[in-house]
Structure 1
Amino acid sequence: MSPILIKTIQFFLSLSILIVLHELGHFIPAKLFKTRVEKFYLFFDVKFSLFKKKIGETEYGIGWLPLGGYVKISGMIDESMDKEAMAQEPKAWEFRSKPAWQRLIIMLGGVTVNFILAVIIFIGLVFAYGDTYIANDSLKDGIWVTEPVLGDALGLKTGDKVISVDGKRIEDMNNIVPELVYGEYLTLERDGQEIKEKIPVDFIETLSANKDNARFISYRVPFVIRQIPQDSPNANIGLKEGDAVIAIAGTPVTFQDQVIPVLERYKGQTVSITVDRKGDKIPLQAKISEEGKLGVFAGLSSFEEYEEKGYFQVKQLDYTFLESIPAGWNRGVKTLSDYIKGMKKIFNPDTGAYKEVGGFAAIGGMFPDTWNWPAFWATTAFISIILAFMNILPIPALDGGHVMFLLYEMVTGRKPSDKFLEYAQITGFFILIALLLFANGNDFYKWIFNK
Structure 2
Amino acid sequence: MEILIKAGQLILSLSILIVLHEFGHYLPAKWFKTRVEKFYLFFDYKFSLFKKKIGETTWGIGWIPLGGYVKISGMIDESMDKEQMKQPPQPWEFRSKPAWQRLIIMIGGVVVNMIVGIVIYIMVLFTWGEDYLSPEHVYNGYSFDETYEAVGFVDGDNILAIDGKPLTDALGVNKEILLRDAREITVERNGAEEIILLPEDIDMKAFKSGAMQGIFPRFTAILDTVIEGYAAREAGFEDGDSVVAINGQPIRFWDEFVAAVKPQADKEIVIDFYRAGKLKSLAVTADSSGTIGVQANRPIAKMFEITHKSYSFAESIPGGLDLGVSKLSDYVSQMKFVFTEKGASSLGGFGTFGSLFSPTWDWHVFWSMTAFISIMLAFMNFLPIPALDGGHIMFLLYEMITGRKPNEKVMEYAQMFGIILLLGLLLYANGNDVYKYIFGGGN
Same fold (TM over 0.5): yes
Amino acid across the alignment from 1:201: M
Q: CA, structure 1 residues 391+445, in 2 after alignment: closer, same or farther (shift >3 Å)?
A: same
Which of 291, 302, 310 is 1:318 aligned to? Answer: 310
Which of 328, 334, 337 is 2:320 aligned to? Answer: 328
| In structure 2, distance between residues paired with 1:54 and 1:115 | 30
Query: Retained in 1: the 8 A contact 2:159–2:188?
Result: no
- The alignment's TM-score, normalised by the length of structure 1, stands at 0.77
| In structure 2, distance between residues paired with 1:251 and 1:143 | 20
> Counterpart of 1:33?
32
Which of 179, 184, 208 is 1:182 aligned to? Answer: 179
1:41-190 equivalences in 2 (<5 Å) = 41-136=40-135, 139-145=138-144, 148-149=145-146, 152=149, 156-163=153-160, 170-182=167-179, 184=181, 185=183, 187-190=185-188
1:402 aligns with 2:392: yes
Paired residue secondary structure (2:334):
helix
1:137-286 equivalences in 2 (<5 Å) = 139-145=138-144, 148-149=145-146, 152=149, 156-163=153-160, 170-182=167-179, 184=181, 185=183, 187-191=185-189, 192=192, 193-198=194-199, 199=202, 201-207=204-210, 217-221=215-219
Paired residue secondary structure (1:290):
strand
Paired residue secondary structure (1:371):
coil
Amino acid across the alignment from 2:382: I
Q: CA, structure 1 residues 306+412, in 2 after alignment: closer, same or farther (shift >3 Å)?
A: closer
Which of 353, 377, 384 is 2:367 aligned to? Answer: 377
Q: CA RMSD, aligned part only?
A: 3.7
Q: CA, structure 1 residues 200+407, in 2 after alignment: closer, same or farther (shift >3 Å)?
A: closer
Deviation of residue 365 (structure 1)? 1.4
> Counterpart of 2:283?
290
| In structure 2, distance between residues paired with 1:269 and 1:204 | 32
| In structure 1, distance between residues paired with 2:384 and 2:407 | 18
| In structure 1, distance between residues paired with 2:178 and 2:327 | 14
> Counterpart of 2:337?
345
Q: Deviations over 1:52-103 (max 9, x none)?
A: 0000000000001111100000010101111111111111111111111111
Query: Retained in 2: the 8 A contact 1:117–1:381?
Result: yes
Query: Retained in 1: the 8 A contact 2:206–2:214?
Result: no
| In structure 2, distance between residues paired with 1:422 and 1:223 | 60
> Counterpart of 1:234?
none
Q: Deviations over 1:256-280 (max 9, x none)?
A: 7679989999x76999x9xxxxxxx
Query: Retained in 1: the 8 A contact 2:137–2:304?
Result: no
Query: Retained in 2: the 8 A contact 1:42–1:62?
Result: yes
Q: CA, structure 1 residues 390+291, in 2 after alignment: closer, same or farther (shift >3 Å)?
A: same
| In structure 1, distance between residues paired with 2:216 and 2:52 | 54
Paired residue secondary structure (2:87):
coil
| In structure 2, distance between residues paired with 1:445 and 1:260 | 27
Deviation of residue 181 (structure 1)? 3.8
Q: CA, structure 1 residues 256+16, in 2 after alignment: closer, same or farther (shift >3 Å)?
A: closer
Deviation of residue 141 (structure 1)? 3.5
> Counterpart of 2:288?
none
Q: Deviations over 1:390-415 (max 9, x none)?
A: 11100111100000011111111111
Deviation of residue 346 (structure 1)? 1.1
| In structure 2, distance between residues paired with 1:254 and 1:39 | 63
- Considering only CA atoms, is the larger Rg found in Structure 1 or Structure 2? 1
Which of 327, 343, 350 is 1:360 aligned to? Answer: 350
Q: CA, structure 1 residues 83+343, in 2 after alignment: closer, same or farther (shift >3 Å)?
A: same
Q: CA, structure 1 residues 113+39, in 2 after alignment: closer, same or farther (shift >3 Å)?
A: same
> Counterpart of 1:236?
none
Q: Deviations over 1:250-304 (max 9, x none)?
A: 9998767679989999x76999x9xxxxxxxxxxx96544369xxxxxxxx9979
Q: Deviations over 1:418-445 (max 9, x none)?
A: 2221121112112212221221222222
- The alignment's TM-score, normalised by the length of structure 2, stands at 0.79
Q: CA, structure 1 residues 289+416, in 2 after alignment: closer, same or farther (shift >3 Å)?
A: same
Query: Retained in 2: the 8 A contact 1:43–1:69?
Result: yes
Deviation of residue 200 (structure 1)? 5.0
Q: Which runs of 5+ in 1 are unaligned?
A: 225-244, 274-284, 293-300, 308-313
Amino acid across the alignment from 1:362: T
Q: Deviations over 1:171-196 (max 9, x none)?
A: 21222233444355462415222212
Amino acid across the alignment from 2:312: T
Q: Deviations over 1:31-59 (max 9, x none)?
A: 11111000000000001111100000000
Query: Retained in 2: the 8 A contact 1:137–1:163?
Result: no
Paired residue secondary structure (2:172):
helix
